[in-house]
Structure 1
């Protein structure tokens, strides 16, 4: 389990653990690093106590509790955009105690309450784009400040708090003109580049050059001490500080591109990497330390088809002395792992064919006395589990809440996302500030519960999907049907309430949402089945799923549409040009139309991560050209609607603009909807409503009889 260099794609020698080619040979400390973040005070933006302009149907998610488990900080979109709120964690408390802590319109992504209760840290996306910054605020709404990510062009990501609450780990991605990233021919020296895809120079740039540095720091929110460097990564797509041990000796980090994630144990004293182990994709919070820092609990698929709970025993220096599978299942994966505040209890959420199963398990692992021989230390293990009944189908996050209690973020096929309080040895109870299940949608039409379908690809690979039947149709009556494709490609279609589906179903159109090869939740072999040239088979999976919807849905063969977002938008365009006579129309949302242009315009760390999935922009140029929908644009027959956020730096808006322009030049009807103040995800209520309405209008118009 020694550190290696397999995540480095740019050919730079000497990358070792969290250090780069410029590391000092004796100390292994990096000679340059991303400049330490400087806190920036902000004016108070707390909202009034109580619930302003309550929305009947709203979502609450990403909870984090205060040390006593009495109150929760969470993300809520009841004001029209995801914002930071607090409210009582006890499900029996009243809704009126909820409070808006940050009224700024920048969408909030993640939330973390400090262990000492003095601060709430959270990430925001300025302008709705892809660059993020880390802020903190007092629980009463005062002291708001930016901790990291204030520099133009930079991004910052939330890590774990130090157990005593005196410092927060953050990861900073250097802006292109950072002094720590001198030019190497891929960009002008000292050039000022504003955030946004339009500043890219048009060439395929992977990490390792001027954009190739990620650094993790411990930052004091009080500003009383200077930031302390934890790790530097050169040529890494991601770097997240997932845990810090109680004694301040060790840090647990996650790094690497999609499909090649790794857990690192780093000694905080000398920044040496002591352990490297592959871990699963998905939730970035991969695990944590046991008491005394002598055990690391990880959600890992190392050597396995499905992710399981691994226990790694460490010696006094943080080096591994043994690894065991503490809990695993043969046909499903561990999707979420959360450790209790005492580090002796865990919640395990298993992904069982798209739905969640939750269980509480006790964790054992002796805390050895100094000088104890490794052989004398009992192996860590998980005890007998206790199943937890769930009122919703899917768990999206688990957070400890006081002595033995937990907060659960749940979603369901007929319910808005909400937060539930799980007491010790009890059943989940809905928090009063979460939307009630009966308020998911206005009456009289309730949400539709999907049924599972099991298509089989033309090469024999079993697939899976969820079919939504429009209300009011006879069971066997053929219906117009929209094949909806998720993003990722390593996302998974889950049985959760989707307002877009609700809008489409209300127009009398069915929806079939499949998992084609490359999706998560079905094992490592299935997720990797679309790598490289396997993507041609993934495109054919779309056609095979449509055929299955006709045979089993029952969908009307003459009235099929295809649509999707992100990678699903790419698949939509690819399916339209490779199966031009199958679909009557398509809606491509934030999709890639030309891989060469995508690699040239996307964020460098996204390009780095995408190489493993799609191919290298230089070495695999011909393959990427053949996979690009633009290479077969002459075959396009069906009208297409493209939708994009104006601030999308993940998939630049030019990808949609290019496809629409080429379609029009060939006489194919095509329209482009650009959503203002949005990035790769659409987060503002007014834009989401506009998107749903115009999309449903387009599909209804083109799938009408005749």
Structure 2
């Protein structure tokens, strides 16, 4: 699809809107326990914009890498999720999530806190996502999303349901769907050049994703870069230095693509399969002759790929320039000069960081010229286990990174010449734990499924417990399913460990970090095997004498909440109780209620909501709820449009109708992720009380 396929009227272009100044200096000492993440340095590399929850909700802050004084730039209560400082230093762009929900918006503010205004996502029925800056800082790419029923894709819609969370007044239909299944694969889909993936337009609700270049000053009209109907995902990851080409990340999970798009006519010149996970998958060399990508195309683990492009942006050759045989490239960040890169590899859940020099292809005429290569890697030793974000600075040897670990809260570190220095405004390691709680470093555990597949996970032993004692244990399941259990500090685990409960956090099939085949092992009917993996993981720690078979609980969030409910009804005698957080209890009603773009991605994992209705029914915990024997606690955010709260409500109702103890905790002003400190504390305390009561004795 090109830009000429869609109108350029005001219903598509974002409308900047001025907002009240909510910035403030922050002289009060922060709480000892707080997190800082998603750093973005200014052009000098000496100051950083970042997300911090020291005031109780993730908000936008700035501070120097080597000083303690910080400033709050946006005091609104809406959680901030992403941050990007402009290359010219004049603006900081960021994404916020009103009410913690899925309809996000993009804002801009000056580094001193003045001039805060809405760039995109405030128009009726839209949301917006942050993209990259032009290299001169004159404009930023944003992706604007608009959904509407057929025949109303360009019309204003009026909300007939209850009002949404604060900040969504301009986004009707923030929550709730009309109960119609989403048609994901109509006939007649077009194909992108160079790919085998058909475009997919929804038959019941059209969702258009349009990427624009937006002037933060508001002096120039937005420029449409690329637009696609029926899209599951879209983000502009990079623009060539001359502005001719854009790198667009798109596609549902499991089928991600990177498109090279000519900005003059929005035509796609080539496309590449890329890896799931972090959406910032690559960028152009300074002359746009080479495209660097993080890709797992045709391979088990993601590697660094160099694609040679001709002057028109069309593909010549591809070369793998950095790879590892037993682990994948998880994060890729190109230096500001385009000649260096920082790589983060994921080895069994632990990050390994490297600095490399990139040697781009040189155009020497009609021939192939010099092939692109990557120089010898320089390893950087890290003080904690997991890198969550890499932000290059003006000094190629001094990037800024966000780190998490099993013994600390998320923090931001500066790495001048490979020597990690904690920023003074990040929590100190010794302050990572509230009084009375003891740090626990988990032990890697490698269960084997009943069909022989090797699984993974981490076991947390409650402090003070003797090695040979079989303990009450909570088996905790992550979401995704493609997420991965990492050795990072989880306040929920701290809560449970402090109550004398062990925690086992496994990676069942479908998780990332173990190769592409492991991620795909739960597709279709393979999900029955994933449910059995939960039982096999429980049996593993029981047989090893770690967990007491009479005092075992299962708990999980999102997809992990689904697995929790599934494990309780497929293996009813195994667990004493369960806590399901934002989980799907019926995959058919989930598809009817979720956001259309989530449905499109989920169909690849679970099955098509029309063609595979019987498979979805048979995989749904509600189809076997008569087998439920254990008491269950369900937890949900009231504004969750990813997995609507009705999924928890119907499971709790069915349990009560069968005479079982069942409760629902509905968290106010939260979406699919719980971001507010008071709600997170309430969730941990309620879950801890429930599990301690049911596992005691």
Q: Which bin holds the TM-score, normalised by the shorter protein?
A: over 0.9
Report the alpha carbon displacement of residue 402 of structure 1 after superposing the two structures with TM.
1.9
Q: Answer yes or no: is 1:201 the counterpart of 2:194.
A: no
1:66 matched residue in structure 2 = 42
Residues in 1 aligned to 2:600 and 2:497: alpha-carbon distance in whole angstroms: 38
Given the alignment, which residue of 581, 590, 599 partners 1:598? 590
1:3 matched residue in structure 2 = none
Contact 1:53 / 1:79 at 8 angstroms: preserved in 2? no
Q: From the superposition, tell whether residues 635 and 602 of structure 1 become closer, same or farther in structure 2 (CA, over 3 Å).
A: same
2:132 matched residue in structure 1 = 160
Residues in 2 aligned to 1:652 and 1:192: alpha-carbon distance in whole angstroms: 18
Given the alignment, which residue of 471, 474, 478 partners 2:463? 471
**Partner of 2:622: helix, strand, or coil?**
helix
Question: Which runs of 4 or more aligned residues in structure 1 lie more than 6 Å from their structure 2 counterparts after TM superposition?
Answer: 177-180
Report the alpha carbon displacement of residue 70 of structure 1 after superposing the two structures with TM.
1.6
Contact 1:64 / 1:111 at 8 angstroms: preserved in 2? yes
Report the alpha carbon displacement of residue 29 of structure 1 after superposing the two structures with TM.
4.1
Given the alignment, which residue of 19, 36, 49 partners 2:13? 36
2:524 matched residue in structure 1 = 532
Residues in 2 aligned to 1:62 and 1:178: alpha-carbon distance in whole angstroms: 38
1:271 matched residue in structure 2 = 266
Residues in 1 aligned to 2:642 and 2:436: alpha-carbon distance in whole angstroms: 39
Residues in 2 aligned to 1:111 and 1:553: alpha-carbon distance in whole angstroms: 46
Contact 2:175 / 2:640 at 8 angstroms: preserved in 1? no
Residues in 1 aligned to 2:677 and 2:336: alpha-carbon distance in whole angstroms: 36
1:624 matched residue in structure 2 = 616
1:652-693 deviation digits (Å, cap 9, x = unpaired): 000000100010001011000000000000000000001001
Given the alignment, which residue of 648, 660, 683 partners 2:652? 660
Residues in 1 aligned to 2:545 and 2:99: alpha-carbon distance in whole angstroms: 41
Residues in 2 aligned to 1:203 and 1:509: alpha-carbon distance in whole angstroms: 43
Report the alpha carbon displacement of residue 103 of structure 1 after superposing the two structures with TM.
0.5
1:420 matched residue in structure 2 = 413
1:183-242 deviation digits (Å, cap 9, x = unpaired): 9xxxxx955466457541111124534332111110111111111111111222100100
* Residues 164-183 of structure 1: pairs in structure 2 closer than 5 A: 164-176=136-148, 181=153
Gaps of 5+ in 2: 161-170, 185-200
Given the alignment, which residue of 14, 29, 33 partners 1:57? 33
Given the alignment, which residue of 201, 217, 229 partners 1:234? 229
Residues in 2 aligned to 1:416 and 1:135: alpha-carbon distance in whole angstroms: 27
Residues in 1 aligned to 2:273 and 2:528: alpha-carbon distance in whole angstroms: 28
Report the alpha carbon displacement of residue 446 of structure 1 after superposing the two structures with TM.
2.1
Residues in 2 aligned to 1:177 and 1:87: alpha-carbon distance in whole angstroms: 45
2:474 matched residue in structure 1 = 482
Instruction: Normalising by structure 1, report the TM-score.
Output: 0.92
* Residues 167-566 of structure 1: pairs in structure 2 closer than 5 A: 167-176=139-148, 181=153, 190=157, 192=159, 195=172, 198-205=175-182, 206=184, 207-209=201-203, 210-368=205-363, 372-375=365-368, 377-404=369-396, 405-423=398-416, 425-552=417-544, 554-566=546-558
2:23 matched residue in structure 1 = 46
Contact 2:159 / 2:172 at 8 angstroms: preserved in 1? no
Q: Answer yes or no: is 1:131 the counterpart of 2:103.
A: yes
1:446-489 deviation digits (Å, cap 9, x = unpaired): 22100000000000000001000011111010100000000000
Report the alpha carbon displacement of residue 400 of structure 1 after superposing the two structures with TM.
1.1
Contact 2:147 / 2:208 at 8 angstroms: preserved in 1? no
1:87-128 deviation digits (Å, cap 9, x = unpaired): 002x3x2x1x21111010000000000001000000000011
Q: From the superposition, tell whether residues 454 and 368 of structure 1 become closer, same or farther in structure 2 (CA, over 3 Å).
A: same
Residues in 1 aligned to 2:496 and 2:623: alpha-carbon distance in whole angstroms: 31
Over aligned residue pairs, what C-alpha RMSD do you find?
1.6
My pick for the range that moved more, 253-262 or 400-409, is 400-409
Contact 1:177 / 1:191 at 8 angstroms: preserved in 2? no
Report the alpha carbon displacement of residue 153 of structure 1 after superposing the two structures with TM.
3.2
Report the alpha carbon displacement of residue 182 of structure 1 after superposing the two structures with TM.
6.0
1:82 matched residue in structure 2 = 58
**Partner of 2:241: helix, strand, or coil?**
coil
Contact 2:637 / 2:668 at 8 angstroms: preserved in 1? yes
**Partner of 1:292: helix, strand, or coil?**
coil
Instruction: Normalising by structure 2, report the TM-score.
Output: 0.94
Report the alpha carbon displacement of residue 552 of structure 1 after superposing the two structures with TM.
2.2
Residues in 2 aligned to 1:142 and 1:487: alpha-carbon distance in whole angstroms: 38
1:109 matched residue in structure 2 = 81
Report the alpha carbon displacement of residue 178 of structure 1 after superposing the two structures with TM.
10
My pick for the range that moved more, 430-439 or 34-43, is 34-43
2:191 matched residue in structure 1 = none
Contact 1:151 / 1:175 at 8 angstroms: preserved in 2? no
Q: From the superposition, tell whether residues 625 and 197 of structure 1 become closer, same or farther in structure 2 (CA, over 3 Å).
A: farther
Residues in 2 aligned to 1:688 and 1:456: alpha-carbon distance in whole angstroms: 33
Residues in 1 aligned to 2:329 and 2:673: alpha-carbon distance in whole angstroms: 26
Residues in 1 aligned to 2:529 and 2:174: alpha-carbon distance in whole angstroms: 30
The count of corresponding residues between Structure 1 and Structure 2 is 667
Q: From the superposition, tell whether residues 198 and 166 of structure 1 become closer, same or farther in structure 2 (CA, over 3 Å).
A: closer
